[in-house]
Amino acid sequence: MSKILVTGGLGFIGSHTVVELQKEGFEVVIIDNLSNSSINVLDGITAITGKKPIFEKLDLREKSAVQEFFKTHNDVKGVIHFAASKAVGESVENPLLYYENNINTLVYVLQELNKLKEANFIFSSSCTVYGQADELPITENAPVKPAESPYGNTKQIGEEIIKDTCKVSAQLNAIALRYFNPVGSHESALIGELPIGVPQNLVPFITQTAIGLREQLSVFGDDYPTEDGTCIRDYIHVVDLAKAHVVALQRLLAHKNETNFEVFNLGTGTGSSVLEVIKSFERVSGETLNYKIAPRRAGDVIAAYAHTEKANKVLGWKSDLTLDDAMASAWKWEKHIREQ
Ligand code: WQD
């Protein structure tokens, strides 16, 4: 049973990916420093799969700790690297925190992988690298634009670091997965998105407003050049996204990759406006959402949704779950955590 390291494995996408890895029979080791996640997530994963992953509380910013880890776990066959800070606004306020936490950690992990006979690396990237793409849907060949935030810059730099390392490494094979907008939760409602403080992202703000934690949702602008005036995004169910990570890892383990650095967009291929997301939520929950139209948010792109052909035909993955599925699961999760 291949041992797979999942860094940031107690986070939103990481925890859902650990569940899918265990379902596929992988042995999973999670590294997480619990700075943006809770140890209770480990119980949620175990409750779903019946298998408790190995967990090591470790801060990847400590190079010696990373070296120690790989001395102990030198039988790791693959790494899925989620560990990073990911709040766009916070990255503008505190860029050095982002460059240290998102770049140094990546370098330390890659340095250890370079000592292994074979290393398979899946990198958590983001459609943020495209900025406002000139053409929609967005393909993997769309130009990477100057980042709108230090967070987005760390994803662009991260991909470059991996690409340059793969060029001179005989044993490193990597895939960068550029997520669109991950939403929803596992159907069991035992794991889900756990934003700390006021949610920056749309869907947790919707569910927290509906449950009464937030007074009202502000829709950031309805004067964009779109059908209903609100921004368009590609909302992909986190379980579909998690499954894509397993498919990408299996591609590398089976040496099916065409080059030793590949990039795939992960989205549904369908764009949904903010108002359409609100309507989807109201439809599946039966709730009437309290929202108002507010000024635009700086840094928002008008529209972004994925061209899915490469992921479908080359990676051999496509999304199955719908926006309604995502909203229903997000609502079920919100109600579950408020019952605690
Ligand atoms: C979606 C839409 C907002 C909140 C970000 C990161 C991206 C990835 C996903 C990490 C936009 C609108 C939002 C609110 C609103 N994160 N909105 N009211 O900005 O597309 O992507 O999160 O990898 O890298 O950039 O997601 O959910 O913040 O916003 O109207 O209270 O919802 O204006 O149009 P975004 P989001």
Tens-digit pLDDT profile for residues 17-43: 999 999 999 999 999 999 999 999 999
pLDDT reading at 133 higher than 80: yes
Angle at 293 (CA atoms; ends 288, 297), nearest 5 degrees? 125
176 lines ligand 1 (CB under 6 A): no
Domains and CATH numbers, the chain: 3-183+235-266 (3.40.50.720), 202-233+269-339 (3.90.25.10)
pLDDT reading at 53 higher than 80: yes
Q: Is 151 a catalytic residue?
A: yes
pLDDT of residue 59: 97
For residue 188, name the pLDDT band (cuts at 50, 70, 90).
very high
**Which residue, by CA, sits nearest to atom 32 of ligand 1?**
202
- Alpha-carbon span 157 to 176, nearest angstrom: 12
The label of the residue with tokens 């990546």 reads 106
88 lines ligand 1 (CB under 6 A): yes
pTM: 0.97
- Ligand 1 atom having least distance to the Cα of 299: 19
- Alpha-carbon span 27 to 94, nearest angstrom: 36
**Number of helices followed by number of strands (H, E) in the chain:** 12, 13
pLDDT of residue 170: 87
- Ligand 1 atom having least distance to the Cα of 86: 10
Question: What's the gap in Å between 261 CA and the centre of ligand 1?
Answer: 28
- Alpha-carbon span 18 to 3, nearest angstrom: 12
Which residue of the set 98, 130, 151, 235 is catalytic? 151
Q: Which residues contact 96 (CB under 8 A, 6 or more apart)?
A: none
Bridge partners, residue 181, by sequence? 235
pLDDT of residue 195: 86
pLDDT tens digits for range 55-99: 999 999 999 999 999 999 999 999 999 999 998 889 999 999 999
330 lines ligand 1 (CB under 6 A): no
For residue 1, name the pLDDT band (cuts at 50, 70, 90).
confident
> DSSP for 134-178?
SSSSBPTTSPPPPPSSHHHHHHHHHHHHHHHHHHT-SSEEEEEEE
**Which residue, by CA, sits nearest to atom 28 of ligand 1?**
201
pLDDT of residue 148: 86
SS3 107: helix
Question: What's the gap in Å between 132 CA and the centre of ligand 1?
Answer: 13
Contact 33, 7 (CB under 8 A): no
Question: What's the gap in Å between 315 CA and the centre of ligand 1?
Answer: 26
Contact 87, 18 (CB under 8 A): no
pLDDT tens digits for range 231-240: 999 999 999 9
111 lines ligand 1 (CB under 6 A): no
For residue 137, name the pLDDT band (cuts at 50, 70, 90).
very high
**Which residue, by CA, sits nearest to atom 11 of ligand 1?**
231
Longest dimension (CA), the chain: 56
Across 291-315, average pLDDT: 97
pLDDT tens digits for range 192-215: 999 889 999 999 999 999 999 999
Across 269-275, average pLDDT: 98
Q: How far is CA 46 from CA 19, 51, 55, 215, 330, in A?
A: 8, 5, 12, 34, 20
pLDDT reading at 340 higher than 80: no
291 lines ligand 1 (CB under 6 A): no
Across 255-270, average pLDDT: 98
> DSSP for 242-307?
HHHHHHHHHHHHTT--SSSEEEEEES-S--EEHHHHHHHHHHHH-PPP-EEEEPPPTT--SB--B-
**Which residue, by CA, sits nearest to atom 19 of ligand 1?**
300
Enter the DSSP assignment of 193.
-
pLDDT of residue 288: 98
Pocket test for ligand 1, best of 215, 217, 274 (most atoms within 8 A of CB): 274
80 lines ligand 1 (CB under 6 A): no
SS3 226: coil
